[in-house]
Amino acid sequence: MKKRLTLGKKTLVMGILNVTPDSFSDGGLYFDKEKAVKRTEEMIKEGADIIDIGGESTRPGSAMVTLNEELRRVISVVKQVRKKFGEKIIISIDTYRSEIARQALDAGVNIVNSLGGFLLDKKLADIVAKFKCPMIIYHIKGKPKTMQKGKITYKDVILDIKRFFEKEISFGVSKGIKKDQFLIDLGIGFGKTVEQNLEIIKRLDELKSLDLQIVIGVSRKSHLAKVLQDELKLTSLPLPTERIEASLAETAVAVLNGVKIVRTHDVLQTKKFLAVLDKLKE
């Protein structure tokens, strides 16, 4: 029997496992299946509550991979992780494709984490309804290849994103998904300027009216490098591995504003950080 996602007082940590050659922070590090499984073991030991496995980079400028290539990258890793670690860990699949989700759920995945909800594949709703699994919808304006190009505008960034969630969830419910299966992720860095990303973090509590749990993913993202460069007068942008403290600063505000799951590359540091933050919230 699959382990169920249970949210309580403690903030959960979702460890990122990119089985890709080109992700912005760790592309290529875990492209090999054995390395991916080893990294999973490390993250479990560091305290990860969820492992989020993705086979397609969604960094700015990235192109979509074929269905067969994504299948080749992720399904064998999902099977290996489930076989080796049993039901002690919750696994999420980071995909918008219905066929990837179906095969991943058959292989033991617990959660579907979908870029754009159902925008890129309407059939995904049927799969989530059939498996009755939790689903994270993360917001994007545009597509990864072009989302950070040109002028990025919103009438009101939080209200516009809120309407996006309402529309996607309404479609999912019409296909048989229960509202309480959904979690939301505001998609920091997915079609947003530096200022818009910061505004979203500060205004997260305005989404309470949706009555849904919130996931956040700010780990090592490029807008943090730009903030650090500007505020510290640096001559160059800090590398992804040099943005951990900045990631935790944003995480703190997000959690205080109601976030329940933090998606991160840096599981151990985030777990220690949240242990103290959650204690202070009691």
For the chain, which residues make up each domain, given as ranges?
Answer: 12-281
pLDDT bucket at 147, cuts 50 / 70 / 90? low
pLDDT at position 221, please? 93
pLDDT bucket at 24, cuts 50 / 70 / 90? very low
| Catalytic residue check, 72 | no
Average pLDDT over the chain, rounded to an integer: 91
Structure tokens of 270? 């985030």
Average pLDDT of the residues in 239-262? 96
Report the C-alpha dihedral over residues 137, 249, 224, 216, rounded to 10 degrees: 0
pLDDT in tens, 189-223: 999 999 999 999 999 999 999 999 999 999 999 99
Which position among 162, 221, 243, 271 bears the catalytic label? 221
**Rounded CA separation 7/259 (Å):** 11
pLDDT at position 28, please? 46
Percent of the chain with pLDDT over 90: 78
pLDDT at position 146, please? 60
Higher per-residue pLDDT: 131 or 31? 131
Classify domain 12-281 at the CATH topology level.
TIM Barrel (3.20.20)
**Rounded CA separation 262/12 (Å):** 6
Which position among 263, 271, 279, 281 bears the catalytic label? 263
Q: Are 140 and 190 in contact (CB under 8 A)?
A: yes
For 264, half-sphere exposure in the C-beta direction (CA atoms, 13 angstrom radius) is: 29
pLDDT at position 23, please? 46
pLDDT in tens, 67-101: 998 998 999 999 999 999 998 899 999 999 999 99
Give the amino acid at 169: I
| Catalytic residue check, 82 | no
